[in-house]
Chain A
């Protein structure tokens, strides 16, 4: 199928969806293409879910600018798009004099980057905030503007807002080639060609491959894996309520102990350079490493309450900084590449910067009737019992709990599927509703979610996927086979 549009955004992670939302508020037509069955399926689904204050990156770097600006923007977007964000603040902990000097350096850098409110605390004050911290911690850098967030939810919010403003989102749509044509581009995809005046490259770990397709070979991306262990909600009393970093190393912010917006806690990540852009296997040495690392911050880890382990791949550019802006060699091609940490925090700032540049190049103006929000998403467990009763009266499906661990109702699952850019896979439902994210990890609700997806999408059960393109879950009994 042939499509014609003003802008194609390649990649449906947090960066791509944020850019799409910004572009869709202009009088431009835009299409986002994502190779996976759902948005937020790459780095966005497996990271530390932190909105950083902005003291890590070198002053003057694109990372520093985008981080501080992105953090500020999220304070506005939280209300506008109803994002799941808690402004917990963060602590960077020192256990030696050397590390103490390091965090003082971080504070100076943060001040220079324009991060508000940074303070150096002594160990006792840090333990006053997080009682389970190690007695060895002698000082900590307190950053009040940092927060924790729900990255899938935020990407979905951007995508939904973009869809409300007329943007089209094509999933299961992989880019196979990019040709210059008629002063613009012909983007070849597995769903046909998309003609566009501008191309935005937000392809994560594949951003250099996409750039090369369009003829820009000016940078390369190196995958760096980070592994995590997630704990059940019941363990939070033994861990932390906010974000706790160790003193950073040269390459990473270190292995942290951190709360999630839903009351879980995780430890990780490590930092493993690797060749594969897709290998998200967790390893025994990796898990041992993050357990050992996290113990330096919280000595007593409730390992029995671990509910899952996962790994994500960060896209590190060879400049070690974000590459944001128009390509130096291909006019009309805009990069948002090398978006590793603090990419999640930076997404709205990157989006704004690129949307401004493209608006200028295209002579586009803001849409007069652009919508700022997205459709309301009822969350049953957060309602009062009076509100719950009303919701069930209106739609009985809210009276049927499908996920027992997280108290997610059938109504919420159907809503997640029927929303703009709705869920099409089991993990897509999970990322929009938390179904299956609790301690039973979908043991009970998995078959029910498959049944609902099959019914609502009108596809047979063997066509229901977990997450990736070929992640089919069940088959017809023998003699049948997948049709």
Chain B
């Protein structure tokens, strides 16, 4: 099988489906979504809780509900073909996609544009080097979530959760609802890495203790987890001797971070950003390789799928334009860099032509801040944009729109920073 497509999407989660729809809306005629799972929708299918869609669909949906909305956008479109159970093994610079599935075997597909929408994966026990034995009963929160919500099994009855990322918090509530006892959530940072609403709704409402500045210093048990030793950590996140205490449990769930899944991007030799862990993109979500775009968690990990959809719409639109030869030139290439208190900002650069459009910046701050804050975007010593904020947390991505009028006149690099007001 060797065919030419306008746009090929690698990954059929919310990013891939939304980008496919956007590409179709912008004129692409032959669009292919490749999904390795048995059905499209991505990880949302196992996120049976609600709280999705408030920004993008303006209503509250469950994860599967949100996934269904994304699927509904494209399922009846003749321009969009979806292949499930299909694994992409390689994407080449000439925009050939090598994939396999049980029905069609080995496929070589060709796209005028490619959009990378592979999502992200969970950081593991090994990556954070938790000492102790290696018994059954230690799972990433996402793997356990799949078993509980999709396969119908529980990982154990007495649970300790390491990491207060959103998946960990959601699983604390989920396990409580399943009748299990969640003994504690431990967080190595002095602040939680989850959304505030999840701290309230998933821990406080269930009287689950959250130990900030704590970590697991040993996992016990030969064949199955029998308990853990916890300890307080200092400001360099090293365990403080003498602060250890034991917690009885049969299960440890890890929610210690997400990593953009970029094996294919690395295989392509795309320029990557060391802090986001994803490809460097411009405002159209085009990577360092012409005609290859990226959107969603593969670019940078989002906390809300709504922003994934926003970003996917952008990528889909410009991938379609590129495929149709309507991309337009880019006379200016301006870097977007981070200043005070801003850790990451996507896109990392703007490639601007005659047809300036509004540009949305997605950023994460370095530490929790409160008070009279000011988010500013400077260019050539002048303020292009500013916005007052009351609160900023590393766990909550900030999105701002730079107005069209300002974009047209930009001529030097942009610096994004967050400062405390007087």
Q: Interface-forming stretch among A109-117, A241-249, A475-483? A: A475-483
User: Which residues of chain B come closer than 8 Å to A475, judged between CB atoms?
Assistant: 153-157
Given A393-B105, A477-B153, A443 and B122 contact (CB-CB distance below 8 Å): yes
Report if B140 contacts A (CB, 8 A).
yes
A458 to B236, CA, bound (A): 49
Task: Give the most central of A278, A404, A405, A443: most B CB within 10 Å.
Answer: A443
Give the residue name and chain of the A residue nearest to B150 (CB).
A447
Q: Interface-forming stretch among A99-107, A199-207, A213-221, A394-402? A: A394-402
Report if B151 contacts A (CB, 8 A).
yes
Contact B224 A470 (CB under 8 A): yes
Q: State which of B133, B136, B146 has its C-beta within 8 Å of the C-beta of A280.
A: B133
A439 to B262, CA, bound (A): 12
Q: State which of B153, B217, B266 has its C-beta within 8 Å of the C-beta of A462.
A: B153
Report if A472 contacts B (CB, 8 A).
yes
Report if A281 contacts B (CB, 8 A).
yes
Report if B135 contacts A (CB, 8 A).
yes
Report if A121 contacts B (CB, 8 A).
no
Contact B126 A306 (CB under 8 A): yes
Q: Shortest distance in angstroms between A283's beta carbon and chain B's nearest beta carbon?
A: 5
Contact B147 A474 (CB under 8 A): yes
Contact B132 A471 (CB under 8 A): no
C-beta contact mask, A436-473 vs B, less than 8 Å → 1, else 0? 00011111101100110000000001100111111111
Q: Is the interface of A mostly helix, strand, loop or mixed?
A: mixed
Give the residue name and chain of the B residue nearest to A307 (CB).
B126
User: Which residues of chain A come closer than 8 Å to B217, judged between CB atoms?
Assistant: 284
Give the residue name and chain of the B residue nearest to A233 (CB).
B263
User: Which residues of chain A come closer than 8 Å to B105, judged between CB atoms?
Assistant: 388-389, 392-393, 399
Contact B155 A473 (CB under 8 A): yes
Contact A278 B222 (CB under 8 A): yes
A278 to B133, CA, bound (A): 10
C-beta contact mask, A179-217 vs B, less than 8 Å → 1, else 0? 000000000000000000000000000000000000000
Report if B223 contacts A (CB, 8 A).
yes
Give the residue name and chain of the A residue nearest to B152 (CB).
A477
Report if B218 contacts A (CB, 8 A).
yes
A-B contact count (CB 8 A): 144
| Residues of A272-331 contacting chain B, CB below 8 A | 278-284, 286-287, 304, 306-310
Contact B266 A234 (CB under 8 A): yes
Q: Shortest distance in angstroms between A131's beta carbon and chain B's nearest beta carbon?
A: 21
| Residues of B97-148 contacting chain A, CB below 8 A | 98, 100-106, 121-122, 124-127, 129, 131-137, 139-140, 142-143, 146-147
Report if B85 contacts A (CB, 8 A).
yes
User: Which residues of chain A come closer than 8 Å to B219, judged between CB atoms?
Assistant: 281
A401 to B264, CA, bound (A): 15
Given A475-B156, A477-B178, A310 and B151 contact (CB-CB distance below 8 Å): no
Q: State which of B143, B180, B266 has its C-beta within 8 Å of the C-beta of A444.
A: B143
A332 to B98, CA, bound (A): 59
Give the residue name and chain of the A residue nearest to B151 (CB).
A447
Give the residue name and chain of the B residue nearest to A397 (CB).
B102
Contact A440 B223 (CB under 8 A): no
Q: State which of B85, B103, B180, B266 has its C-beta within 8 Å of the C-beta of A478.
A: B180
Give the residue name and chain of the B residue nearest to A46 (CB).
B134
| Interface size, chain B (Cβ < 8 Å) | 52
C-beta contact mask, B35-49 vs A, less than 8 Å → 1, else 0? 010000000000000
Q: Shortest distance in angstroms between A201's beta carbon and chain B's nearest beta carbon?
A: 23
Q: State which of A393, A441, A469 has its C-beta within 8 Å of the C-beta of B124.
A: A441
Contact B127 A307 (CB under 8 A): yes
Report if B89 contacts A (CB, 8 A).
yes
Q: State which of A282, A307, A393 has its C-beta within 8 Å of the C-beta of B132.
A: A282
Report if A229 contacts B (CB, 8 A).
yes
Contact A441 B126 (CB under 8 A): yes
Report if B388 contacts A (CB, 8 A).
no
User: Which residues of chain A come closer than 8 Å to B334, judged between CB atoms?
Assistant: none
A400 to B83, CA, bound (A): 13
Contact B136 A473 (CB under 8 A): yes
User: Which residues of chain A come closer than 8 Å to B143, judged between CB atoms?
Assistant: 442-444, 446-447
Q: Shortest distance in angstroms between A443's beta carbon and chain B's nearest beta carbon?
A: 5
Report if A251 contacts B (CB, 8 A).
no
Closest 4 CB pairs of A and B: A308-B126, A468-B223, A399-B102, A396-B102
Q: Which residues of A approach B to under 8 Å, CB–CB?
A: 229-230, 234, 278-284, 286-287, 304, 306-310, 385, 388-389, 392-393, 396-401, 404-405, 407, 439-444, 446-447, 450-451, 461-462, 465-478
Q: Can you list 10 residue pairs at the A/B interface with Cβ under 8 Å?
A: A281-B218, A388-B100, A399-B100, A400-B102, A404-B87, A440-B121, A447-B146, A468-B136, A473-B137, A474-B154
